[in-house]
């Protein structure tokens, strides 16, 4: 039986926040999440990205918008995220629509990155064929020289995405594979919670 859950303690963002804080204390790379996308031809692709922020609006990661994932999201912005925290025996799945963050948000985050990571963002034509490692290192050296003695600005092809959730599912390992699954779905102005069979 669905239960309407407009706020705490049934707010899935707050449930995620509590779990994420626990995972950050006990798990290596607690911010690593699988991002799944679908390209214009309907072919799925998944890869790990890093969670860089979340709030009631959604879950944020940053990347080259001209990369394979960026092209997929431009054509078809539906996305799914998945966290698995083995020490907690917990998994979180998020489904939603990806939208670009504002330029101000992207600029602010880019400024916090280590300088070499900023240089790498300029040097890498992410997802494109690379002739040799030496060429990548040469491109990085050219970027270092170009911005020597001054801040590295955010590349115009680099930004962030916010996955605005329409569903969030929490999985907890149970004895005998009788795992617990709680799924929250947006309906109207709030969330509806359902238990699912494992």
Catalytic pick among 25, 43, 150, 177: 177
Gap between the Cα atoms of 49 and 67, Å rounded: 13
Helix runs in the chain, H state only: 12-26, 68-75, 103-112, 115-123, 133-146
DSSP 70-82: HHHHHH--EEEEE
154 is catalytic: no
Gap between the Cα atoms of 119 and 97, Å rounded: 29
Gap between the Cα atoms of 163 and 97, Å rounded: 5
Residues assigned a catalytic role: 177
């Amino acid at each position: 039986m669905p239960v309407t859950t407009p706020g705490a303690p049934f707010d899935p963002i707050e449930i995620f926040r509590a779990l994420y804080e626990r995972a950050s204390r006990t798990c290596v790379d607690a911010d690593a999440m699988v991002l799944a996308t679908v390209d214009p031809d309907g072919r799925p692709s998944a890869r790990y990205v890093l969670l860089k922020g979340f709030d009631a609006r959604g879950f944020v990661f940053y990347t080259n918008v001209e990369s394979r994932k960026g092209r997929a999201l431009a054509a078809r912005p539906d996305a799914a995220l998945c966290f698995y925290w083995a020490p907690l025996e917990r998994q979180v799945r998020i489904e939603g629509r990806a939208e670009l963050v504002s330029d101000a948000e992207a600029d602010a985050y880019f400024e916090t990155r280590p300088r070499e990571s900023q240089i790498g963002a300029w040097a890498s034509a992410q997802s494109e064929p690379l002739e040799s490692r030496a060429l990548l290192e040469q491109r990085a050296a050219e970027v270092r020289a170009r911005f020597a003695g001054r801040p590295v600005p955010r590349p115009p092809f680099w930004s962030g995405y916010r996955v605005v959730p329409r569903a969030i599912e929490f999985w907890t390992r149970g004895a005998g594979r009788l795992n617990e699954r709680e799924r929250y779905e947006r309906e109207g102005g709030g969330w509806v919670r359902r238990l699912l069979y494992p």
